[in-house]
Amino acid sequence: MTDTIDAATKGDDVLDELHAWLEDNWDPDLTVAAWWERLGLAGWAAPTLPTNAYGRGVARSIAVQIGNEINAFGALGAPAGLGLLLAAPTIADHGSQEQIDTYVRDIVTGQKAWCQLFSEPGAGSDLAGLTCKATKDGDEWIVDGQKVWTSLGQTADLGMLIARTAPDAPKHQGITYFAIDMHQPGVEVRPLREMTGHAMFNETFLTEARVPDAAIIGDRNNGWAVANSTLGHERSGLGSGGGSGGAGAATPGTIAGNLEAPGRRLRPQGLAPQRGG
C-alpha cells in the first residue's frame, strides 16, 4: 500500500512539474523541430529513458500519463515512430554515452526517423536464421542481404539492422546489431502493396551498403542479445500504449517534411490550448 501511495504521489508531482513546464514553454508558433527540441531535451518526449539518455527515469505508467497530459494541454506530442519506441531504449541499454548523444538525442528531438531491419524472406519466424551478412572492410562493414516487413522504411533516416558477422559461429552467435544510414546508394526500399493499393510495409535490399564500426550497438557478435532487448521494448511499449499516448500527428525525420511546419498545425485537434492560441 505504501509503495502504491508513493508511486501515485510521485506521478502527481511529475504531472504538476510537466504542467508548469508546458505553461512556460509551449508556443504554437514554434516549428515542429523547435518544439520537439524543447520537449526532448527537457526529458518529456521519452520520460522512461534514464536521465543520461534524455529521459526522466519514470515508470511506464507515469510516462503514459505524461503523454496524455501533453495531449490534454493542447500541445504537440512527442515524435511518433519506431525511433522512440524501439531504437532509443535499446541504445540506452547497450550503447555508449557517445552513441546515446549521437542517436538518442536526434530521436527525442524528432530529427531522425528509424525503421527496423530484422525479418528476412527466407527466415520465417526464425529470426536467428538470418542470412544478411556484414563483411569487415577496414573501419567499416559492407552489408549485403534483404529484409522484409520493414514498416516506415520509406520515411526512415536510420535503421536498426541485425546482420551476420561471423558466418561460422552458431546461428544465435555471430550476429551484430548496427545503426545503418538509410540514405545511401546501397539501400533500396520497395513498398509491399496490399490489394487496396496501400503499402504499410516494405522490403529492403542492401547491396554493398556501408556502416562504420562506430555504429555497432553493443559488442560485435552480440547482436542477438541486443535484438532481444529491442523485442522486449516492443512488447512492453505496445502493451502499455507506448509510442502512441500523446504522440503528435507530425512524423519525425528528414523525409516526412513536418519539421519546419508550425506546431499549431499538427497539435491535437478539437482541444482548447491552454496557452498562446
Whether 193 is in a domain gets the answer yes
- Alpha carbons within 13 angstroms on the beta-carbon side of residue 68 total 11
Q: How many CA atoms lie within 13 A of 103 on its CB side?
A: 31
Q: Which residues are tagged catalytic?
A: 234
Q: What distance in Å separates the CA atoms of residue 23 and residue 44, rounded to the nearest whole number?
A: 14
Same domain, 221 and 254: no
* Range 209-216 average pLDDT: 98
Q: Is residue 102 part of a domain?
A: no
Residue 93, in any domain of the structure: no
Q: Mind listing the pLDDT tens digit for each residue in 85-130? A: 999 999 999 999 999 999 999 999 999 999 999 999 977 678 888 9
Q: Residue 4: is its pLDDT beyond 80?
A: no
Instruction: Please indicate, yes or no, if residue 90 is contained in any of the structural domains.
Output: no
Same structural domain for residues 210 and 258?
A: no
Q: How many Cβ atoms from other residues are within 10 Å of residue 23's Cβ?
A: 12
**Is the same domain home to 207 and 170?**
yes
Domain assignment of residue 87, yes or no: no
pLDDT of amino acid 53: 98
pLDDT mean over 201-224: 96
Q: Return the sign of the alpha-carbon dihedral for residues 90, 92, 93, 96.
A: positive
CB 123 within 8 A of CB 130: yes
- 228 and 116, same domain (yes or no): yes
Q: What is the CATH number of the domain that holds 222?
A: 2.40.110.10
- Decide if 29 is inside a domain: yes
118 and 228 share a domain? yes
C-alpha closest to that of 133 among 162, 173, 158: 162
Q: Are residues 172 and 203 in the same domain?
A: yes
Contact predicate 272/74, CB 8 Å? yes
- In the chain, the number of structural domains is 2
Judge whether 160 and 87 are in contact, CB under 8 Å.
yes
Assess if residue 94 is contained within a domain.
no
Alpha-carbon gap, residue 77 to 247, rounded angstroms: 4
Please tell me whether residues 131 and 32 are part of one structural domain: no
Q: What is the pLDDT of residues 241-253, one digit of tens each?
A: 554 333 456 899 9
Tell me: do 56 and 119 sit in the same domain: no
Amino acid type, 81: G
Range of the domain at 154: 112-232
Give the tens place of pLDDT for each residue, 13-69: 999 999 999 999 999 999 999 999 999 999 999 999 999 999 999 999 999 999 999
pLDDT-based confidence at 136, cuts 50/70/90? very high
Residue 91 forms part of a structural domain? no
| Same domain, yes or no: 20 and 61 | yes
pTM for the full predicted model:
0.89
Average pLDDT over residues 228-246: 72
In this structure, are 40 and 120 located in the same domain? no
Same domain flag for 68 and 119: no
Strands 187-192 and 201-212, bridge-based pairing: antiparallel
